[in-house]
Amino acid sequence: MRYFDALASTLHFGRAAELAHVSQPALSAQILEMEANLGVKLVERGRGNTLLTRKGEEVLTHVRSILAELDRLEQTTRRSDGLLGGLMRLGIIPTVAPYLVPRLVPHLRTAYPAIQIELREAVTDRLIADLSEGRLDLVIVALPIESEVIATRPLFRDRFFMAMAENDSEVLMSPLSESDVDVDRLLLLEEGHCLRDQALAVCGTAGKRSLVNFGATSMATLLQMVSHDMGMTLIPEIAVPTETLRNPIRIVPFADPQPAREIGLAWRRGILQAEETDAIAEAVCACVGEQAAATFS
């Protein structure tokens, strides 16, 4: 049922297999077995095109209801194992995950030895969809999130800086104002990343088209381009320690009030206990605090 749910969400056998952490042949075999057991065709298979049949759509409704009940059962079992005992399926946006996960996972495993962590990195819309449909328990995203079924909790304020090549001939005043940014040289993440929209908002370019026509898939790619003097970009504070070690870049702060994003937790209402979200929140803030202290002290 989880494989079928993954396939219904992606409508692509390869991406569904990746989402379900199995090989594509294994997932395909399980879908065929499910069709044989139910005696109906669930999926229309074509070259590069997968669609649910009408019966498949009906079955999907029941499958997701069953999986939601199983999730609730897992939550009940986890609570009986003590605080954060059992499986925790955690999603994190790509502009936070590389800088937080290396500290957060060891911290949680030390503090809560019974925890089993399953991580997923994806853009905000995908994480919220997975959260709403029961494929994730908790996500770390940029707030706000507007949903009646999802609760949120702010964690920390992540300030923005401007990153440019060390050998960049352009002189930027420090601290930087929005009007100082040359939007013709602004590099952005690809569509779907919330940091792209935040960069456009900070630099006042939401209605302008004179932007470098390239959308990077990751912060690391973006800053590689910056280090080779291909432009400049917005960098969140959480990324500064790691990326300044990797790349020859110069970090320029903004003038007060410094632009920032609010990073927080989101979860389905009624699924997690307050003690569980408190524990994750405290762990995240402790790890971010350690990183900030090591870099900016």
Tell the burial category of 175 from Cβ atoms under 10 Å away from its Cβ (0-12, 13-18, 19+).
Answer: middle
Q: Which of 53, 80, 107 is at the close of a domain? A: 80
Examine the domain organization and report whether 163 and 249 are in the same domain: yes
User: Is 42 a member of any domain?
Assistant: yes
Residues 153 and 85: their CA atoms lie apart, in Å, by 21
CATH code of the domain covering residue 218: 3.40.190.10
Averaged pLDDT, groups of 10, the chain, 297 residues long: 90 86 89 94 84 93 86 65 82 94 95 91 90 89 90 95 80 67 78 76 57 67 89 91 91 89 93 90 91 47
Q: Which of 21, 52, 80 is at the close of a domain? A: 80
Q: Which of 60, 80, 100 is at the close of a domain? A: 80
Say what the pLDDT of residue 68 is.
80
User: Is 142 a member of any domain?
Assistant: no
Examine the domain organization and report whether 162 and 75 are in the same domain: no
Say what the pLDDT of residue 206 is.
45
User: Is 215 a member of any domain?
Assistant: yes
Which amino acid does the sequence have at 103?
R
Say what the pLDDT of residue 265 is.
97
Say what the pLDDT of residue 267 is.
95
User: Is 166 a member of any domain?
Assistant: yes
User: Is 101 a member of any domain?
Assistant: no
Write 243-246 long-range contacts (CB < 8 A, 24+). 243/163, 243/219, 246/220
For residue 253, whether the previous peptide bond is cis, meaning omega lies within 30 degrees of 0, is no
CATH code of the domain covering residue 54: 1.10.10.10
User: Is 119 a member of any domain?
Assistant: no
Say what the pLDDT of residue 75 is.
66
User: Is 39 a member of any domain?
Assistant: yes
Say what the pLDDT of residue 294 is.
47
Direct distance between the N- and C-terminal alpha carbons of the chain, in angstroms, rounded to an integer: 50
User: Is 272 a member of any domain?
Assistant: no
pTM over 0.85: no
Domain, as residue range, for 193: 157-259
Tally of domains in the chain:
2
